[in-house]
Amino acid sequence: MCLLRFFASMMPAIVLMFVTLVPIWSRGASAWFSSPPRPAAQQQSDGGTTASKRGSSAQRQSFTSFSGRSQSSGPVARLLDQVEAKGRVSQCWKTALDTLKEGCASLRADDGERSRLALSMAACDDEADGRRRTWPVCVNDDNVRDCIYRLDDSLYLVYVQYRLHADVLCLYIQEEAFQERTEVAVQALYSGSTAAAEALEALRVSSSELRSSVSEAAEQQTSNLAETRQIHAQLQDIRKGQAAAFEALESMLRKWCAPSMMPRQISSTFRSVAQEAEAFQSRTERHIAGLTNGLERVEAFLQTLLDGTMSVGEILRGGTLLVAIVLLTLPVRTNGARLPCVGLAITAYSTRPLLATILRDSISGGTFFVFLGTAEIALLTAYACAYQSPDQVLRQLLRKEVRSALDEVWGRQLEDVRQILNEVIMSSLVSLSEVDGGSLYQEEVAILPNLDTEVHTPPKALTPQRAGRTRSRVRRT
């Protein structure tokens, strides 16, 4: 009863907290999604002259059209609608959108597939605008790092933006699916809780009526048993009187049969009277024994019935516990603990007779209910502490993406610095060799391998230069 009062007192606070936090989270998520990417806007305002920069600027303009939307009308939903509209026109976009919707869970776990999807979306945008294909094709057998390595700086920023948009769309699709499943589950739980409440109310009424009728029958049988015992005592007194009369008759018979002058008729008459009295006494004893056995059976049956009615209280406790579990797991924070809590309750009630047999002692219903309620509260607390909101998951994902992007950009910048230094040194040696006649150039060229090993370029940045990379400004001059 104390636990029920505790749950009843906590329910308004839990519902108020849930109603207050959901709008705050939705406004925060909408504000984050509506912020346009700063690198795309800066790249668009530069106005480069090369063809690759013109292509990347157009792609960033299409990306900005995705991001520039109002906060109040669902920015991510409109972004998904625009991508679906492009999928109805372009087969390339339709394939990318189907890949995003069907393998969203696997894309979040597989970094390579997510990168391939971002490259394919960028290529689809180029095809939709009628430009030539400037993006590398990465099949499943190719290394994604090799494909990304061939991109220049502007295309790499566009690729990072497409990858972040793919993550956001994937999370939005999963959140929409989870919201639909949650609504269906809440509706089913509401209907099930209503049916369970009605069934418990009917069971309570019927159990109350049964208890009252059984109590009345027990009182009536108790009064009948008292009267029967009184009749049995009276019959015992009658039996004792009959035995005394029989003994008196036998003594009289012995007295009368002793003289030889007594006729035989008197003796036979007294014998017949004694036999009839003995037969009557035997019938009376059998009747009393049968009546006593019947009353004992009735008493045993009523006691069994009273013991069986005690299980109705256990049913009411179990139903109350299930309803409390359903109400406490309605918030999103404890929604995952519903099935474990219900399974724990069913397992506990199923193994209770086995525990009583092993311990060789009966466990009272109140003690069992208190232990089970404590275990359920501990399980709910554990799930509530381990819960992570979608906002936290999205922040962790974005933090990981930004960290990986910064690592790749840092390695590429170190490699570019090393190449530029080598080119400057080579050009200086060439100019000095023209002045000194070539002798100094021969000596410096022999020293270059040792200097290259002392640069200590990080292993991540120490990759061979490929033909697809953009030539540096020193080499162009």
Tokens of 174: 């999963």
What is the pLDDT, as a whole number, of residue 440?
52
- The answer to whether residues 165 and 63 touch, using CB atoms and an 8 Å cutoff, is yes
What is the pLDDT, as a whole number, of residue 142?
60
What is the pLDDT, as a whole number, of residue 133?
57
Which helix or strand (DSSP H or E) is residue 358 part of? Answer: helix 338-359
pTM: 0.32
299: left (phi over 0), alpha (psi -120 to 50) or beta: alpha
What is the pLDDT, as a whole number, of residue 95?
77
Q: Report how far residue 392's alpha carbon sits from residue 399's, in angstroms, rounded to the nearest whole number.
A: 10
User: Among candidates 275, 270, 268, 265, which has minimal Cα distance to 251?
Assistant: 270
User: Among candidates 371, 379, 367, 369, which has minimal Cα distance to 321?
Assistant: 369
Could you list the pLDDT tens digit for every one of the 477 residues in the chain? 444 444 444 544 444 444 344 443 444 444 333 333 333 333 333 433 333 333 444 343 333 333 333 343 377 777 777 777 776 767 778 777 777 777 676 666 667 777 777 777 777 876 666 665 567 667 665 677 777 777 777 778 878 888 887 788 888 888 887 888 888 889 888 888 888 888 888 888 888 888 888 888 888 788 778 877 877 777 787 777 777 777 776 776 666 665 554 556 666 666 776 677 677 777 777 777 777 777 777 676 666 555 544 456 677 777 888 888 888 888 888 888 888 888 888 888 777 767 666 665 666 667 778 888 888 899 888 888 888 777 787 788 888 888 888 887 787 777 778 788 888 887 777 777 666 555 555 555 555 555 555 555 555 444 444 444 444 443 343
User: Among candidates 94, 75, 64, 78, which has minimal Cα distance to 32?
Assistant: 75
**Amino acid identity, position 364:** S
Q: Could you give the angle at which helices 111-129 and 51-67 cross, rounded to 10 degrees?
A: 100
What is the pLDDT, as a whole number, of residue 389?
78
What is the pLDDT, as a whole number, of residue 246?
74
**Residues 253-269: tens digit of each pLDDT:** 666 665 554 556 666 66
Distances in whole angstroms, Cα of residue 158 to Cα of each of 170, 185, 203, 265: 18, 40, 66, 138
**Residues 114-148: tens digit of each pLDDT:** 777 777 777 787 666 666 556 766 766 567 777 77
Q: Is 110 helix (H, G, I), strand (E, B) or coil?
A: coil
Distances in whole angstroms, Cα of residue 318 to Cα of each of 287, 327, 373, 386: 48, 14, 10, 27
Q: Report how far residue 148's alpha carbon sits from residue 129's, in angstroms, rounded to the nearest whole number.
A: 22
> To which residue do tokens 């029967």 refer?
228
How long a stretch of residues is the chain? 477
What is the pLDDT, as a whole number, of residue 11?
47
- The answer to whether residues 157 and 169 touch, using CB atoms and an 8 Å cutoff, is no
DSSP letter for 152, please.
-
What is the pLDDT, as a whole number, of residue 151?
78
- The answer to whether residues 80 and 37 touch, using CB atoms and an 8 Å cutoff, is no
Could you tell me where the beta strands, DSSP code E, fall in 185-237?
none
Q: Long-range contacts of range 140-145, CB-CB < 8 Å, 24 or more positions apart?
A: 140/116, 144/111, 144/112, 144/115, 144/116
What is the pLDDT, as a whole number, of residue 130?
60
Tokens of 224: 């009948």
DSSP notation for 405-469: HHHHHHHHHHHHHHHHHHHHHHHHHHHHHHHHTTHHHHHHHHHHHHHHHTS---TTT-----TTS
In degrees to the nearest 10, what's the CA dihedral of 110, 111, 113, 117? 140
Q: Which residues contact 197 (CB under 8 A, 6 or more apart)?
A: 323
What is the pLDDT, as a whole number, of residue 317?
79
What is the pLDDT, as a whole number, of residue 439?
54
Q: Report how far residue 304's alpha carbon sits from residue 26's, in angstroms, rounded to the nearest whole number.
A: 59
Cβ atoms within 10 Å of 337's Cβ, excluding its own: 22
User: Among candidates 173, 171, 172, which has minimal Cα distance to 108?
Assistant: 171
Distances in whole angstroms, Cα of residue 210 to Cα of each of 218, 308, 311, 338: 12, 11, 13, 34
How many angstroms separate the most distant Cα atoms in the chain? Answer: 183
